[in-house]
Amino acid sequence: MAYLNANIPATYAQIRREYLYDLKDHHGEVEDCIIFGLTSITGRAILFHGIMENGAVFYRLPISAFIQRGFDPEEVPRRRLDELQLWNCFSYYPAVTSWDILDGQSGKYFGKDKKLHKGAYLFTVDFAHPESNIVDTDHSEIPHEHKCAHIMALEDGNYAAQPNNRILWDIPSFTVKNETPDWKVQTSEWNVEDTGKWKTEDTDRFFYNIEEKKNDDKN
């Protein structure tokens, strides 16, 4: 698992040039870039790194700074960052995964505007706290607080980062039910060693026995 920075699948995109000028100039202009990495800082939006055609690299821009290659910037709607990404990063430790089952698949997410926004899967960012010697002050491993961020290329030319409970994926050969689940948020922590009902025998045998603890067995 990476700390702070992580590689992502190279994404050929366009960058809104005002983000290269601290939002003070060059509004409405774009230039080509390759998004190649990200930064995860607890309590901030996912921040992406891009390299430009002049060879310069610009770090730590939000997902709203980018639109897809081939789109006319005048036709791509400007959407607020909080509409494109629902939650901030949960940790300084991001994990980037490209799930095979979702690769190349389309989906739709429920936006703050109460509308469905269609797009294609790119990759997933998840969060954890792997360093046991550092006090865990984030929420990444609390069952009912955990969220990942699926990065999507939207049909309108924007990109988005949305959690599981905002997206319905479309895999034509499998996702045949047209419904929104009424599931409940996960609150359980699953542990196979916390029952206190069994123990292994005290032996050097490779295939040791597992014994059920008796009520009066305190060891």
pLDDT in tens, 83-134: 999 999 999 999 999 999 999 999 999 999 999 999 999 999 999 887 767 7
Tens digits of residue pLDDT in 163-206? 999 999 999 999 999 999 999 988 888 888 888 888 898 889 99
Residue 93 makes CB contacts below 8 A (sequence gap 6+) with: 1, 2, 3, 40, 127, 128, 129, 130, 131, 140
Tens digits of residue pLDDT in 46-87? 999 999 999 999 999 999 999 999 999 999 999 999 999 999
**Gap between the Cα atoms of 79 and 112, Å rounded:** 11
Closest CA to 10 of 95, 77, 96: 96
Please answer whether residues 31 and 53 qualify as being in contact, where contact means their C-beta atoms are separated by less than 8 angstroms: yes
pLDDT averaged over every residue in the chain? 92
As a whole number, mean pLDDT of residues 130-157 equals: 82
Q: Six-digit token pair at 113?
A: 């505007």
Q: What's the pTM value of the predicted model, to 2 decimals?
A: 0.90
Tens digits of residue pLDDT in 184-194? 988 888 888 88
Q: Is the confidence at residue 38, as pLDDT, over 70?
A: yes
Q: What band does 142 get if pLDDT is binned at 50, 70 and 90?
A: confident
Q: Would you state the pLDDT for residue 217? A: 57
Q: Would you state the pLDDT for residue 140? A: 66
Closest CA to 89 of 36, 16, 38: 38
**Gap between the Cα atoms of 68 and 89, Å rounded:** 23
